[in-house]
Each structure stands twice: as C-alpha cells, then as structure tokens.
Structure 1
Amino acid sequence: MVGSSHEALHRIFQKDPALLTRALQQVLHVPFPEPREIAALNVDLTEIEPVERRVDTLLRAETDDGTYLLVVESQGKADERKRGSWPYYLSYLYEKYRCEPVLIVITQNTATARWAARPIHLGFPGWDSLTVRPLVLGPDNVPVITDEHQAERDVPLAVLSAMTHGRGPKAAPILESLATALKTIDPDSAAVFVQFVDSCLADPQAKQMWRDLMTAIQYFWRHPLAEQVREEGREQGIEEGRIAAQRDMILRALECRAVPVPDDVRDRVNACEDPSQLDTWFQRAVHATSAADLFVEE
C-alpha cells in the first residue's frame, strides 16, 4: 500500500527498475549504458557499528564570502581507497556542519601529487553525480626558499618548503636559510617547527645536517628531540666523542652541499683537536662553496 506521493515517486522504480533506465535515456537524454541486470538493494544506510574515520587536520575558516571547512590530508603514496573515503569525508562534514568543505592534500612526492590532483568522478561516463577535486600542495608548487631574508619574512612557509623539499637536491640551502630564520621568532614556536622539519627529512644526510645546524640554537635543547641528540652524543664518549662529532659535522656539511672534499682537507679536519677551531670550521662549512673556504682566513 502506497501512502504518499513521496513513497510513490520512488517505489515505482522498485516495481519496474528498467523504467529508471528508460527515463534517464529518453527523458533526460543522458547516455546511461544499457544494464544487463538490475537488482534492488537494502535502502537502509545506517551504520550499525561505529566506524572510526578521521581526517588529518580540520579547520573552520570564516570569510566575507562564507564559512568553509578546510580538510587537510597528508599523503605519502597513492592509495585508491581514498577514492571512497575522501568523498565520504566531504559529504559527512557538509551534512554535520552545513559549511562548504575544501579538500587539501599535502605530499612530499611528485608522483603522489599528480595522483592526488586527479578529480574523483562518481557516476557513469558522461555524467558525474559527484566530483571531488582535491587541492594539492607538493614539490611542484610549494616554493623552494633558499634565501634567508625570504625565509625570515614568512617562517611557516619556509618550514613548509623544508618539509616538502627536504629530500631534494636543494635541501642544504633550504635548511640553512630556515635555521637562520628560526632565530627571529619566539623560541617555543621555533622548537615546534624544528620537530616538524626533523620528522619530514627522510634523507639521512639532510636529517643529520639539520640536527647539526640545530645544535647551535639554544632553544632547541628544550625540545624532546634534543634529548635524543644528547643521548647519541653521550654514547660517543664525553670529550673525545664531542671532538669526533665536530669533525664529522664539518665533513658531512660539505658532503651534503655536494662540495668535493680533497684528502688533504679531510686529513686536516680529522687531525684537529681544538673544539673552538672545529666550531669555526663548521660555521664556514654550512656556507662553503669549496672545501678551501674552511681555511680562508688562516
């Protein structure tokens, strides 16, 4: 028994599923493909068991043009499951908050960025019922900030640059400019940014260079990451280990910048026992264009 127009208007298609196909093709002139079979499914979409779904970061932005939900997803590699979960996130958030959701994907990988930027089309060819178009931040569009003055003008953007390009060939100058810029902001914020960058540096040489740069910044030692670095130092021994670490820092800084290190330079660095001299050489190493620059004033 049909009790309302609402019920009748959809139940007719349960009675004759093929009618829906004809309506699409003949009334709406939509090129829906001819089905081989149509079956009715359970109409109850209630999730009986709670399903845990979390976005990485969710921000609410009030603007003169309206309120928006900024959905930020960090993506390490292509994952076809996102074809279903991202549209779900956006639909759910719109239903819950009644604000327009905007999906933003951030990645360190160029191939992943290209994959994430592809629109997600749900529907049939020629007619999309739902289209999701992620905005993607990645190595191809996040600026490479190697100038310390530019880094100082926008430290968070410089941090994003280091996090995004930390595995690339320009990692060394990016990290150097950021290290200088961090000295211009409040220590607590700087310490948090230090951890963000450290967590994103996959290249061992770049990560070590970053930690070497941070050892000269006092606020760094208040951060939990510093305890790990200090523990590594204790394992090397006290004075002897510190001098050995200084020598290694100098040579690693040059190698990370792709500066050739002749044997005579390596021997001179390894023979030095003066911590203050080694510290001077390290300060020069992070800006050197040739190994000889270590001894330019001697």
Structure 2
Amino acid sequence: MTSPIPDDPVVTIADSDLSTCDPPKPKEYRADLSFLLASQDSRLVAIIEPQTAAPKPHKRRSWPAYVVNAHRTHHCDAHLLVIARRQQVARSCAKPIRLGHRGFTLAPHVIGPDNTPDPTDPALTAANPELAVLACLTGALDLDIVANQHLILGLIANLDEDRKRRYNSAIRDASSPQIRHSMEALMTTVYRDKFYEKIKAEGRAEGAAELLLDILREREFPVSSELRERAIHADEEQLHAWALRAIKATSIEEVFLD
C-alpha cells in the first residue's frame, strides 16, 4: 500500500455499494465533451474539460471518475484532456491527482496558452479550423483583435453545418460579451448567410433548454438521458411551455406531457 494506515484507527463497516450515488440523490458525472476515436485496429476515448479558473477540489475528485467510467463504458483506453484559459490555470490543472492505490495517480493532459499549436502554421493546414477553435478556448488566439475574429470566422464559414454550430457555440461560451457582440456584427455583415441567422435562434433555444434543466434540478425531478436529449433538441416555444409546467408540476411526467 502507498497510503499510510492511521495510527490506532477506529474501524467501521463502510457502505459497499459503490454505485455513482451521492445521498440523498444520484450523483451525475457529465464531462463537457467526449470523443470516441476508433479505427479498424484500435479505439480510445478523449474526455475534454475546459477550465477558465483553477478547479475546485470536488471537481478534481470527479476527473478520475470520468476516466474510469469512460474506460468501463467504452471498453478502451480513456484520456482526460483539460483545456485551460490561462497558463496559471493550466499549471493548477496539471497537478497529479493521487488516489492512494499503488500506481493509481491521474496526471491530466493539459493544453494552455503556452502549448497550443499555432493555427496559422502552414504545416497544419488540414487541422486549421479545429486548431483555431482550440486557440480561442485557451486564449492563445486573442479575439480582442478584430483580425483574429476574421480569421476564426473565415475558417468556420466553409465547414459543414454541424461543425459550424458546435464550434461557434464553443467560441461564444469562451468569449466576453463584448467579443460576442463584435463577432455577431461580423456574422450579419461580412460573413452573413442563412446559417448564422440560424445560430442566433439556436443560441436562444440552448439558453431556454439550460433554464428548463435548471428548474427540473431545483425541483429535484429525475431527468433521464432521453428527456435531456428531448430538451436539448426542442425549439424555443416548446421549451418555454415545458418550463412553465415545471414550476408547478408535481412529477416529471406532468412536465413532458404531450
């Protein structure tokens, strides 16, 4: 054993049910984003966690659970990748998480401003859109500079709709209100097309979905993965109706009654 046994310990029988429960209600472990990379010969899971500030102790204790649960679910190697907004945050996130069991120490992979690949590097042309988004998330690409706003929007504009929606959402979440306003102005002028008008509507719907889920959590209603997906993909009008029901409903079934 690598952890010392306490002197004169008081021994009690601990709960042997190690399910992901945190009384009095179940504990959810939801990473911000996960990717399954698979080929004919191998596969692995990458768990992505953006961090804008040094993680609190309870958050760091969740990271080993993410890796173990992903390993168990997908039956393959699992890696935790933390994307840090500032270098000080990157150093804090990179600290090993020691669980006490021999050899069981999680050392997160961390990408911060100092080790983000340069999205303008000609040798990385094929990955330029993804690297540019990553650089926005780490702050390596300063979006206070208008030229960089043009750079990222120009790279995203030619992608398929799903990637455009996902990348735009990620950049918005990592940006200040001033930057979001400036980029929206560019979207409606220089980079105007139907998709960017759609982004605004989807952004409102995403906010309404988060509000609904917050209300359900506050009411302590159990939300299954299926119901969560219904909320995420519903339109703004439907979400508003569900939210009004959720305030007074006595059960989760009443909220989603069709």
* TM-score, normalized by the shorter chain, greater than 0.5: yes
Structure 1 unaligned segments of length 5 or more: list them.
1-23, 25-29, 229-298
The alpha-carbon deviation at position 185 of structure 1 amounts to 3.3
User: Secondary structure, in 3 states, of the residue corresponding to 1:143?
Assistant: coil
**Among residues 29, 33, 47, which one is paired with 1:71 in the alignment?**
47
Distance in 2, Cα, partners of 1:61 & 1:90: 15
Show the counterpart of 1:61: 37
CA–CA distance in structure 2, aligned partners of residues 192 and 72 of structure 1: 14
**Per the alignment, do residues 170 and 82 of structure 1 end up closer, same or farther by CA in structure 2, a change over 3 Å counting?**
same
Determine whether 1:161 maps to 2:135.
yes
In the alignment, is residue 210 of structure 1 matched against residue 186 of structure 2?
no
Deviates more, 1:147-156 or 1:195-204: 147-156
Amino acid at match of 2:169: Q
1:175 Cα deviation after fit: 1.7
Provide the C-alpha distance between the structure 1 equivalents of 2:192 and 2:123, rounded to a whole number of angstroms.
21
Q: Secondary structure at the match of 2:158?
A: coil
Q: Deviations over 1:235-287 (max 9, x none)?
A: xxxxxxxxxxxxxxxxxxxxxxxxxxxxxxxxxxxxxxxxxxxxxxxxxxxxx
> Percent identical across equivalent pairs?
26
Letter in 1 for 2:168: V
Amino acid at match of 2:50: S
TM (norm. structure 1) is 0.54
Q: TM-score, normalised by structure 2?
A: 0.61
Alignment of 1:38 onto 2:9 = yes
How many residue pairs were aligned? Answer: 196
Secondary structure of 1:223 counterpart: helix
Q: State the shift of 1:166 in Å.
A: 7.2
Separation (CA, whole Å) in 2 of partners of 1:133 and 1:121: 9
1:131 to 97, 105, 122: 105
Task: Return the offset for 1:186.
Answer: 4.1
Contact 1:72 1:105 in 2 (8 A): yes
1:223 maps to: 198
Between structure 1 and structure 2, the one with the greater Rg is 1
Q: Which residue of 2 aligns with 1:95?
A: 72
- Higher relative contact order at CA 8 Å, sep ≥6: structure 1 or structure 2? 2
Quickly say closer, same or farther: Cα 1:180–1:168, change in 2 above 3 A: closer
Counterpart CA distance in 1 for 2:76 and 2:161 is: 36
**Distance in 1 (alpha carbons) for counterparts of 2:84 and 2:158:** 27
- Paired position in structure 1 for 2:82: 105
What secondary structure does 2:104 align onto?
strand
Question: In the alignment, what sits opposite 2:154?
Answer: 180
* Structure-2 change in CA distance of 1:151 and 1:212 (3 Å): farther
Task: Specify every segment of 5 or more residues in structure 2 that has no aligned partner in the other structure, as ranges.
Answer: 204-258
Specify the SS of the correspondent of 2:85.
coil
Aligned counterparts of 1:147 and 1:107: Cα–Cα separation in 2: 21
Do 1:155 and 1:178's aligned partners in 2 also have CA atoms closer than 8 Å?
yes
Alpha-carbon distance in 2 for matches of 1:150, 1:212: 29
